[in-house]
């Protein structure tokens, strides 16, 4: 076995930095006159750590595809997601600063858990063995269970954490049982070993293999909030603190699909005809139910919860049409979706910090009160709907095109239909901001940190929509190593 620990330097750094973040909060004086400084210092330390993690991941990248002990891959795909998850955590930390000051406590532990959860997400993408991936998933999940209930003064937050934990534990048991079934029929938990066991005649193990696949897909379906495993999503989104809702919508789903893609391309590709229909059914159900239920929502967090379920359906199309081309298209779409979602949630967090408002009708008159915030929010909503010039249009177009090439035209057509439906409920929010008169027209300013974050993220949405070649090349290069 290759036990080259230098391959894991970025993750060792994350563990050490999480301890430093907690220690900073522990030893800084808690005087009243230093309250703002005390609350923000752990955030700046954590954000600096995530920036260093991204730099380390890029600096230690090399062309050879190494692995640690045969269970952790260190390749272009791993590097892509190291940078990806580091960036998401960085912007989540920045968006949390004022929210933490106003509504939450214990900043050191809060930011420390965000750092640790990034470690779990990165290893989900890097794992080449089922139990390693499962442990990484649990590291991410337990961090999110705790963070979802961080607002102890809000009963909805405690309820969200409890529901998320109970259903998460149930789904983890299903997932683990599926892993046991796969091990039982193939005699291996490594992706290469599973693929080898499924490459020959599987007639004698077909029933056990299909049961294991069904259980594994059900467990993963919960983690990414695919229908019919989506019941936890609206309550968790509504009850969790807004920055954690943003983090769940971005990192949790991206980590799930990072594992989905490496696992199914590495272990289950030999029997793609046996499981493709399962993924296609989940994709269709998510697109239909997610978009239709979003039409009835009046709370912005619940609307984004059902919207995210519909978005999961589009991403599952990339898994159902699994190929080198669809993998690259999925990574591109995932990048566009996460950047867009971060823009939308940073705007929602900034508005909540100012007004405490979560209802959609509470956004009335935002264009008069804060034009910059309304503009960025409109850009994000149009992108999620798949309008031209924005990231969502191009990434969906490429994803649906690949689905057609893999003879899944009906699924691509359903995706187009879902995008048309979603435009209606996204326009409801835009209508409130630009057309409906607000109860007050008092203007307010956003902090320089929020304004700068939105500028960078908004530029990312437009760049992917207008000039996607650089990010697509990176995504395609990362995806190709899965099929070598």
> Would you say 339 and 457 are in contact if contact means Cβ atoms under 8 Å apart?
yes
Q: Coil, strand or helix: which one is 372? A: helix
pLDDT per position as a tens digit, 308-326: 999 999 999 999 999 989 9
At residue 85, does pLDDT exceed 50? yes
pLDDT per position as a tens digit, 199-236: 876 666 678 888 888 999 999 999 898 988 888 889 88
pLDDT per position as a tens digit, 4-42: 888 899 999 999 999 999 998 888 766 444 445 556 888
Count the Cβ atoms, other than its own, within 10 Å of residue 483.
12
Residue 318 pLDDT: 93
Query: What distance lies between CA 340 and its chain's CA centroid?
Result: 11
Residue 107 pLDDT: 87
Residue 271 pLDDT: 86
**Domain residue limits, the chain:** 271-484
Contacts of 378 (CB under 8 A, 6+ apart): 430, 433, 434
Residue 32 pLDDT: 44
**Spatial distance between the Cα atoms of 274 and 259, rounded to a whole number of angstroms:** 19
pLDDT per position as a tens digit, 349-382: 999 988 888 889 989 989 898 999 999 999 999 9
**Spatial distance between the Cα atoms of 11 and 23, rounded to a whole number of angstroms:** 19
Residue 28 pLDDT: 72
Angle between helices 371-385 and 391-405 in degrees, nearest 10: 10
Q: Dig out the tokens for 236 from the structure.
A: 């968790």
Rg value, the chain, Cα? 22
pLDDT per position as a tens digit, 89-133: 999 999 999 888 888 888 889 999 999 999 999 999 999 999 999
pLDDT per position as a tens digit, 45-76: 999 999 999 999 998 876 667 788 889 988 89
Taking residues 262-279, what's their average pLDDT?
89
User: What CA–CA distances, in Å, run from 463 to 18, 234, 287, 406, 431?
Assistant: 33, 31, 26, 28, 26
Label residue 161 exposed, middle or buried (CB < 10 Å: 0-12, 13-18, 19+). Answer: buried
Whether residue 306 has a cis bond before it, omega within 30° of 0: no
Average pLDDT over the chain, rounded to an integer? 89
């Amino acid at each position: 076995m290759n036990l080259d620990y230098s391959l894991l330097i970025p993750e060792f750094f994350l563990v050490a930095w999480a301890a430093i973040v907690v220690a900073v909060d522990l030893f800084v004086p808690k005087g009243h006159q230093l309250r703002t400084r005390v609350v923000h210092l752990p955030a700046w330390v954590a954000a600096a750590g995530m920036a260093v993690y991204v730099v380390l991941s890029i600096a230690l990248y090399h062309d050879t595809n190494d692995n640690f002990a045969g269970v952790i891959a260190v390749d272009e795909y791993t590097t892509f997601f190291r940078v990806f998850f580091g960036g998401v955590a960085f912007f989540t930390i920045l968006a949390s600063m004022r929210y933490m000051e106003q509504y939450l406590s214990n900043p050191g532990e809060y930011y420390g858990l965000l750092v640790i959860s990034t470690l779990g997400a990165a290893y989900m993408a890097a794992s080449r063995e089922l139990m390693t991936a499962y442990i990484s998933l649990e590291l991410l999940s337990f961090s999110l269970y705790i963070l979802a209930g961080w607002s102890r003064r809000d009963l909805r937050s405690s309820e969200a954490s409890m529901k998320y934990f109970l259903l998460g534990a149930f789904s983890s048991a299903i997932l683990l049982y599926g892993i046991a079934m796969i091990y039982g029929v193939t005699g291996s938990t490594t992706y290469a070993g599973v693929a080898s066991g499924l490459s020959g005649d599987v007639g004698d193990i077909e029933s056990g293999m299909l049961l294991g696949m069904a259980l594994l897909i059900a467990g993963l379906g919960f983690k990414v909030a695919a229908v019919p495993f989506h019941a936890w999503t609206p309550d968790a989104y509504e009850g969790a603190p807004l920055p954690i809702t943003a983090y769940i919508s971005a990192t949790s789903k991206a980590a799930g699909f990072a594992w989905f893609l490496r696992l199914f391309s590495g272990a289950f590709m030999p029997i793609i005809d046996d499981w493709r229909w399962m993924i296609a059914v989940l994709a269709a159900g998510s697109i239909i139910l997610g978009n239709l239920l979003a039409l009835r929502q009046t709370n912005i967090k619940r609307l984004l919860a059902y919207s995210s379920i519909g978005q999961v359906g589009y991403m599952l199309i990339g898994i159902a049409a699994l190929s080198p081309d669809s993998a690259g298209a999925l990574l591109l779409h995932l990048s566009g979706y996460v950047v867009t979602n971060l823009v939308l949630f940073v705007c929602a967090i900034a508005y909540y910090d100012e007004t405490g408002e979560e209802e959609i009708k509470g956004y009335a008159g935002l264009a008069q009160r804060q034009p910059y915030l309304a503009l960025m929010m409109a850009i994000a909503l149009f992108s999620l709907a798949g309008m031209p010039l924005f990231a969502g249009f191009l990434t969906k177009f490429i994803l649906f095109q690949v689905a057609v090439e893999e003879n899944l035209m009906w699924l691509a057509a359903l995706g187009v239909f879902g995008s048309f439906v979603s435009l209606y409920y996204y326009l409801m929010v835009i209508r409130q901001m630009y057309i409906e008169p607000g109860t007050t027209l008092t203007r307010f300013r956003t902090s320089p940190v929020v304004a700068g974050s939105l500028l960078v993220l908004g530029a990312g949405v437009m760049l992917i929509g207008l000039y996607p070649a650089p990010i697509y090349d990176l995504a395609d290069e990362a995806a190709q190593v899965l099929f070598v």
